[in-house]
Chain A
């Protein structure tokens, strides 16, 4: 609802049909994850633990990072059993 004139134009329950993926929270981060794909064993633990919709899987099952959603929390790097993810200070 882009424009409304009064409170009666709003639904009585605050709702939206737009998913929160439109919120680009990537600029919050101080550290960004760098994936070293040659170490990746496709265990998908990073994908499972990421609290944002920031990691998706490609057709082969490798993680793909969407930096415009990543807040730089570092959970993926902490969980990775192969130390394939490094957190690097953003320039």
Chain B
């Protein structure tokens, strides 16, 4: 085990090398470019024995990943923002064909107006493509989850592609100390990928995803839905195994922080979680009963885990770094859906869109809003825009 000070992008690339990926198909886009650039160097330097395909667009890169994965090899790419948008139609193919491609997505604003900083409006609209999504908080989690992602995705009960979502620049370009797992331990944790369903055999050719009438497609959808639900259990198992082997426990689907005895709980995802954890400590020290839930998996959505959290508090706030116009933040919409029938207020706090910093005062305001809702049993505004110029939060 070696500790090195690296960017999130380097951690994502190194994790792919530790996972011994067979095929990398890539197209550069800020702020992801360094991930595939590092990998191209690893391949060039002979550190990684992998086919590195330079594609002419993200649409082609994802198409190449689908084709590669369909031959039965471990497949990897990375993208962000517009690149993910361009991949959109091919994402469905990977999901419905049960191809466990692993792809870090460096969360970046989707134009317009054009921007390069952190926002979740690239990945959240892809929730229905049949891809799992995990949101990470720091560079260590980038490393650990990229390796875990292969194991979750390749599990025979799941066999679905997965996005590892990391916030632009805050992680992708920021250096942090990261524990580098030993190769032999990773090999033991993540054996070679040996699928039964998708293998290239010239003697037994097949056409994948061919024209299908309505007699079949509804069942294909049900299959994807069932395997996505199976992933709920597999995520927890893989997390437990990782914790045992490598000593870091991420909580699985969600991570709870000081939720016991909390009246007001904030559900965050991504990097904002770190700041929120500090505020929880500060508020708890001042006798305010607040707690924090880090939503890690957005797909599969941890409905039962969120219900358990709701059953022990008086109000919930859900943080979003993206908005579905007129309807609220995507994470809040999911939480409210999970909590249908629960009588506690569940409010939405929107902040940091377009990569605006989410500061300690912003998060104090979020907790104050949730505490107020917990006390009154209702919320003045269900959707609160924090730090928006000209808008009263």
Contact = CB atoms under 8 A, between A and B. Distances in A.
A6 B219 contact: yes
A20 B212 CA distance: 11
Q: How large is the interface on B (under 10, 10 to 19, 20 to 34, 35 or more residues)?
A: 20 to 34
28 contacts: A6-B219, A7-B219, A7-B220, A7-B222, A10-B216, A10-B220, A11-B197, A12-B98, A12-B197, A13-B98, A13-B99, A14-B96, A14-B208, A14-B210, A14-B212, A15-B207, A15-B208, A15-B209, A16-B206, A16-B207, A17-B205, A17-B206, A17-B207, A18-B207, A18-B210, A19-B207, A20-B207, A20-B210
Contacts of B99: 13
Interface of A: 6-7, 10-20, 23
Most B CB contacts (10 A, CB to CB) among A6, A7, A14, A18 go to: A14
Given A20-B207, A20-B211, A14 B222 contact: no
Contact of A14 (B159, B204, B205, B209): B209
Chain B at the A interface: mostly helix, strand, loop or mixed? loop
Nearest to B99: A13
Nearest to B209: A14
Given A14-B210, A16-B210, 5 more contacts: A10-B220, A11-B197, A14-B209, A14-B212, A17-B206
B6 interface: no
B223 interface: yes
Interface in B89-106: 96-99
Interface string B211-245: 11000100110110011000000000000000000
B197 A13 contact: yes
B85 interface: no
B198 interface: yes
Given A7-B219, A7-B222, A14 B97 contact: yes
Nearest to A17: B206
Most B CB contacts (10 A, CB to CB) among A6, A10, A11, A13 go to: A13
B206 A15 contact: yes
A13 B206 CA distance: 11
A19 B205 CA distance: 10
Contacts of B97: 13-14
A22 to B, nearest CB: 10
A33 to B, nearest CB: 24
Contacts of A19: 207
